[in-house]
Amino acid sequence: MKQAARQARAEGRVIGLVPTMGALHAGHLSLVEAARRESSPVVVSIFVNPKQFGPQEDFAKYPRPLEEDREQLEGLGVDILFAPSVEEMYPPGFRTTISVEGLGDRLEGRARPGHFRGVATVVLRLLDIVAPQFAYFGRKDAQQVRVIRQMAADLALDAEIVVCPILREADGLALSSRNAYLSPGERRAATVLYRALDGARQAIVAGECDAARLVQIMRGVLAGEPLAAPEYAEIVDADSFQPVTRVRGACLALLAARIGPTRLIDNMLIETPALAPVPADRVTVRCSL
């Protein structure tokens, strides 16, 4: 992979990297499409990274349909599939960990201790090997993107981090490899994350900008679904990931819930002018689900 990347760079080509854990779905493929628009060669990595899974998590049972993934990528005209083994990525004696302080302690970081250290470590490793000018990530994992952007800025990495929108099923459920774990009943219940975010969106559009009230609306929708066990529902500043009291500037509504045994996350980006006058009906609010 390093050799191919060096050669592409020497030829003046623009390498685009889409890092994934495989079990590819249309969300991943939308990142590939974005990469194809501005990069050639497009490299897709598939690596189920043990370092980002907790001891009680689904590392062992995470789906690994490598042959199907390969066929899909071939169909999309992806130039290189990089699917290293755990031993190649972390040779025996590997001791280095990348830790981005402060941004990954709450929310996903609290629910999954060590998760973002695992993510940052593998992403830096992938960026070093593939040497892309552009690396594509989904806003589906909003906190992950924030951590990676911070790492890229702090270390002055060459790669530009590109964030792509969330791809959803027709009923609003965000595409995820873990949706494959859901039973038919759980699959129906899983739309509750989208419904909760959409409830907040409707309130925001109607002028609500009090974060506590919006959180209450989201919690209310989640509580109405018997198969859902909510983990967190918050509205945070998109830069600091700290909770806000009022929606202002760029914020994120973030949700995590278990649907049966399956843990799902989702979010909505809320953008208002930073110094907007209240009442909100005079300002343009953009909610991106």
Angle between helices 115-130 and 2-10 (to 10 degrees): 50
Is residue 288 within 8 A of residue 271, CB to CB? The reply is yes
Closest by CA position to 47, among listed 10, 82, 7, 16: 82
- Both tokens of 286, joined, read 């953009």
Stretch that binds ligand AMP, among 60-68, 75-83, 160-168, 184-192 (CB under 6 A): 160-168
Query: Binding of ligand AMP at residue 177 (CB under 6 A)?
Result: yes
Is residue 35 within 8 A of residue 18, CB to CB? The reply is yes
Using CB under 6 A, count the residues that bind ligand AMP. 17
Candidates 166, 197, 257, 285; binder of ligand AMP (CB under 6 A) is 166
Write down the least CB distance from residue 30 to ligand AMP, Å: 6
Closest by CA position to 286, among listed 247, 235, 242: 247
Catalytic residue, candidates 15, 16, 28, 270: 28
Is residue 27 within 8 A of residue 18, CB to CB? The reply is no
Active site residue 115: no
Integer Cα distance of 177 and 25 in angstroms: 7
Candidates 5, 17, 29, 30; binder of ligand AMP (CB under 6 A) is 30
Integer Cα distance of 287 and 145 in angstroms: 18
Write down the least CB distance from residue 250 to ligand AMP, Å: 18
Closest by CA position to 248, among listed 285, 198, 281: 285
Nearer to ligand AMP, 215 or 264 (CB): 264
Query: Binding of ligand AMP at residue 20 (CB under 6 A)?
Result: yes
Write down the least CB distance from residue 163 to ligand AMP, Å: 9
Stretch that binds ligand AMP, among 21-29, 36-44, 57-65, 89-97 (CB under 6 A): 21-29
Nearer to ligand AMP, 10 or 170 (CB): 170
Is residue 224 within 8 A of residue 244, CB to CB? The reply is no
Stretch that binds ligand AMP, among 5-13, 96-104, 171-179, 242-250 (CB under 6 A): 171-179
Using Cβ positions, the residue closest to ligand AMP within the complex turns out to be: 138
Query: Binding of ligand AMP at residue 16 (CB under 6 A)?
Result: no
Distance separating the N- and C-terminal Cα atoms of the chain: 36
Is residue 209 within 8 A of residue 246, CB to CB? The reply is yes
Write down the least CB distance from residue 285 to ligand AMP, Å: 22
- The contact pattern for ligand AMP, residues 102-141, with x = CB under 6 A and - = no contact, is -----------------------------------xx-xx
User: What amino acid is encoded at 265 in this protein?
Assistant: I
Which residues of this chain interact with ligand AMP, rule CB under 6 A?
Answer: 20-21, 27-28, 30-31, 137-138, 140-141, 164, 166-167, 174-177
Instruction: List the catalytic residues.
Output: 28
